[in-house]
Chains A and B, each alone.
Chain A
Amino acid sequence: MKKQVKYKKKLAHSQKYTLLSFEKKRSLEGFLFAVPWLIGFLGFIVVPLVLSVRISFFQTVLTDLYGFHGTSTYVGFNNYVKVIQDPNVGETVFKSFGNSLIKVPVIVAFSLFVAVLLKQDFPGRTVFRVIFFIPVILAGTIMTYLFRDGVGNMSLFSSITTGVQQINSFFGTIMSNIGAIMWASSVEILIFLAALQSVPATLYEVVEIDGASAWETFWHVTLPYISPFVILNCVYALVDSFVSSDNPVMAIMNSMTQEGTKYGQASALSWLYMLATLTVIMIFILLTRRWLK
């Protein structure tokens, strides 16, 4: 009898103390799946970021463009001071911020509208769903040529909104390009479609029985349910317009790097710009955190 108890104890003991507990093993597994990305993060994000901070404090003159060799002298915060004092840079940055702040609500509202329409069950919706991703194919250089030829203006919407152009030129230039702005909303439509499909069907049934109209259903059921995704889309559209290569700030940065002597200034500008964009995004998230839950 005694022997048996002892044996049982031993068994329990040996089961309990395997190499790792179940929980720890699971979390180690999870971490291991993330390791390759973390290595890449160190190599391709952290190292270049640190180096670019270093560049921004130096005045670099390249002697060999191909091998990226050159002489550099430490100049402290000089590069930053130069960038801030340049009136051209300041104006461009503020203008591009203003542009983005007007563009983003238009993109988000439009993509939400399209997503709501596409979510409905009607014949031929797959065709439409595919059509709305065409701009993704055309992105890049081709889009620039299309803008130049004014293809973005050839739609019913822009003929409606040309009236606005005469009232307010700043707002008007954006509204007249409304087609072009809509082309930027493919990914947002995708995210909204995903969000709309995650609203439980039972909720809709309940409000229909209670006699709510489609309009009321949208404002009181759909919108509150997908509000985090609205915020997410706003953030994505903000980032997209800050980073896109047709942003004038990016053009300034490119011209600085092409001159060959202004690498320090270009780095300083990019850091300042990044901090500014992050601040805008953080402020936005803070203001809207109520709807994030």
Chain B
Amino acid sequence: MTPEAVNTAAAQADAAAVQTEKKLGGIKGFIKKYENLGYKAKKKITFIISRIFVYFVLIEMAYLFILPFIYIFSTSLMTSQDYMDPTVQYIPTTVNWDNFVKAFEALDYVKSFFNSMGTSLLSALFQTTACALIGYSLGRYKFKVRNVIFFLVVLVLLIPPQVMILASYGLWATLSLVNTWGPVVLPCVFGLGLRGALFVLIYMYFFQRIPDVMDDAARIDGAGPIRVFGQIMLPLVKSAIAIVFIFSFVWHWNDNYEAPTYMYIDGHQTLQPRLQNIQMYYSKYATSQGAMSELEKSLSEPMLFAGCLMVMLPVMIVYILGQKQLAAGIERIGVIE
């Protein structure tokens, strides 16, 4: 064949291909069209599609994560009739503020709030400082027993508190510190306590990321170790401080295992165990008998959730106030400077 013949044959084949493509239409034609687009246009299309996908998925998940809030809030405003009525969903027929008054009484709110706030705030303050010390030691220094100490920290993370609670209770009882804030706050003074090991690891991670130049410069200028730690290093890990403080406060506030075990007498309790009493408290009024039926339980449910909202409130305030710091911390965590 001559070259011209080859060319015409190729042209014919091309034309045929185009025609079949037109016939195919639909998705295949669409893909073909997409493939023929330029690099920039392609990038823009994938960008838009990925954006839509990201927002769609994130909004669905965010809904899942906000749902409990909505549920608690709407249930706390319902009357028992509304709660039992399957046609009432989320929006109560009448707003019933009475739930809050009753929950306030059953929670013994002022005293329990004082106990919860005291233990959580003190513990959080002590943990933020003490865990910073050990985290600094593990993150910035190389010494002989460093790896041993690191191993111990990881071990503490892995030991369930349930293993020690009996023996610890015995110890605190012999020190006659049961029903005081001591058993919760004192371990935090040394950087242990509720999830202390995790906080140590967070600090360690943050301190490791700071370049060596920073403290070398300060040392050459004649700063001592404490000054380097307090004036150079701590300001550099502000975001870690925010994260540790907020998490420590929130976890102590929500602790329904250790604090209720150590502080169980009326007037010494924190809010979490009092919450479990709400339903019993009102069933006593109803029947003056110990046991309560399923019906009674569900009747007092709106009160319970009003109580939940009141227990959550301070934590929410801390969270909203610290939210900017926290977000900045999450943003900066792991960024190589």
Identify the A interface with B (CB < 8 A). Answer: 26-34, 36-41, 43-45, 47-52, 54-55, 66-68, 114, 117-118, 120, 122, 126, 128-142, 145-146, 149, 151, 154-157, 179, 182-183, 187, 190, 193-198, 200, 214, 239, 242-243, 245, 250, 253, 257, 263, 266-267, 270-271, 273-274, 277-278, 281
Whether B63 contacts A197 by the Cβ 8 Å rule is no
C-alpha gap A141/B186 in the complex (Å):
24
C-alpha gap A55/B163 in the complex (Å):
11
Residue among B72, B153, B190 making CB contact with A44, cutoff 8 Å: B190
C-alpha gap A151/B198 in the complex (Å):
29
Chain B residue at minimal CB-CB distance from A29? B225
Q: List 29 A-B contacts (CB under 8 A).
A: A29-B141, A33-B225, A36-B191, A40-B190, A41-B156, A44-B168, A48-B167, A48-B171, A49-B164, A51-B167, A54-B167, A66-B173, A67-B176, A68-B173, A122-B54, A134-B65, A134-B66, A140-B253, A141-B273, A141-B276, A142-B308, A142-B312, A146-B72, A149-B71, A156-B64, A183-B68, A190-B330, A243-B160, A243-B162
C-alpha gap A141/B276 in the complex (Å):
8
Whether B166 contacts A34 by the Cβ 8 Å rule is no
Whether A31 contacts B143 by the Cβ 8 Å rule is yes
B-chain residues with CB within 8 Å of residue A47 when the two chains form the complex: 167, 171
Give the residues from 310 to 337 in chain B that come closer than 8 angstroms, CB to CB, to chain A: 311-312, 315-316, 319, 323, 326-327, 330-331, 333-336
Whether A263 contacts B308 by the Cβ 8 Å rule is no
Chain B CB within 10 Å — which of A36, A51, A135, A245 has the most?
A36
A-chain residues with CB within 8 Å of residue B58 when the two chains form the complex: 114, 117-118, 128
C-alpha gap A37/B187 in the complex (Å):
9
C-alpha gap A48/B165 in the complex (Å):
8
Chain B CB within 10 Å — which of A54, A117, A135 has the most?
A117
Whether A36 contacts B171 by the Cβ 8 Å rule is no
A-chain residues with CB within 8 Å of residue B225 when the two chains form the complex: 29, 33
Number of residues from B at the complex interface, CB < 8 A: 97
Q: From DSSP, what is the main secondary structure of chain A's interface residues?
A: helix
Answer whether residue B113 sits at the interface, using C-beta atoms and an 8 A cutoff: no
Q: How far is the CB of B270 from chain A (nearest CB, A)?
A: 10
Instruction: How many A-B residue pairs have C-beta atoms within 8 angstroms? Tell me.
Output: 248
A-chain residues with CB within 8 Å of residue B178 when the two chains form the complex: 66
Chain B residue at minimal CB-CB distance from A140? B254
Q: How far is the CB of A283 from chain B (nearest CB, A)?
A: 14
Chain A CB within 10 Å — which of B152, B164, B186, B331 has the most?
B164
User: Contacts A133-B326, A141-B275, A183-B65 hold; do A39 and B166 have CB atoms under 8 A apart?
Assistant: no
C-alpha gap A183/B63 in the complex (Å):
12
Interface flags, B22-36, vs A, CB<8A=1, else 0:
000000000000000
C-alpha gap A249/B10 in the complex (Å):
75
Which 7 interchain pairs have the tightest Cβ spacing? Answer: A40-B190, A30-B141, A140-B254, A27-B143, A33-B137, A51-B167, A194-B334
B-chain residues with CB within 8 Å of residue A250 when the two chains form the complex: 162
Whether A193 contacts B333 by the Cβ 8 Å rule is yes
User: Contacts A114-B61, A142-B308, A243-B160 hold; do A137 and B319 have CB atoms under 8 A apart?
Assistant: yes
Chain B residue at minimal CB-CB distance from A65? B173
Q: How far is the CB of B268 from chain A (nearest CB, A)?
A: 12
Answer whether residue B124 sits at the interface, using C-beta atoms and an 8 A cutoff: no
Q: How far is the CB of B325 from chain A (nearest CB, A)?
A: 11
Chain A residue at minimal CB-CB distance from B258? A245
Whether A52 contacts B166 by the Cβ 8 Å rule is yes
Residue among A38, A187, A194, A263 making CB contact with B149, cutoff 8 Å: A38
Residue among B62, B301, B308, B333 making CB contact with A128, cutoff 8 Å: B62
Whether A44 contacts B160 by the Cβ 8 Å rule is no
Answer whether residue B117 sits at the interface, using C-beta atoms and an 8 A cutoff: no
C-alpha gap A137/B158 in the complex (Å):
23
Whether B138 contacts A132 by the Cβ 8 Å rule is no
Whether A198 contacts B141 by the Cβ 8 Å rule is no
A-chain residues with CB within 8 Å of residue B40 when the two chains form the complex: none
B-chain residues with CB within 8 Å of residue A135 when the two chains form the complex: 65, 68
C-alpha gap A196/B275 in the complex (Å):
39
Answer whether residue B122 sits at the interface, using C-beta atoms and an 8 A cutoff: no
Whether A44 contacts B163 by the Cβ 8 Å rule is no
Chain B residue at minimal CB-CB distance from A69? B173
User: Contacts A128-B58, A157-B64 hold; do A68 and B170 have CB atoms under 8 A apart?
Assistant: yes
C-alpha gap A281/B254 in the complex (Å):
27
Answer whether residue B169 sits at the interface, using C-beta atoms and an 8 A cutoff: yes
Answer whether residue B60 sits at the interface, using C-beta atoms and an 8 A cutoff: yes
Answer whether residue B8 sits at the interface, using C-beta atoms and an 8 A cutoff: no
User: Contacts A67-B173, A183-B65 hold; do A52 and B167 have CB atoms under 8 A apart?
Assistant: yes
A-chain residues with CB within 8 Å of residue B256 when the two chains form the complex: 140-141, 245
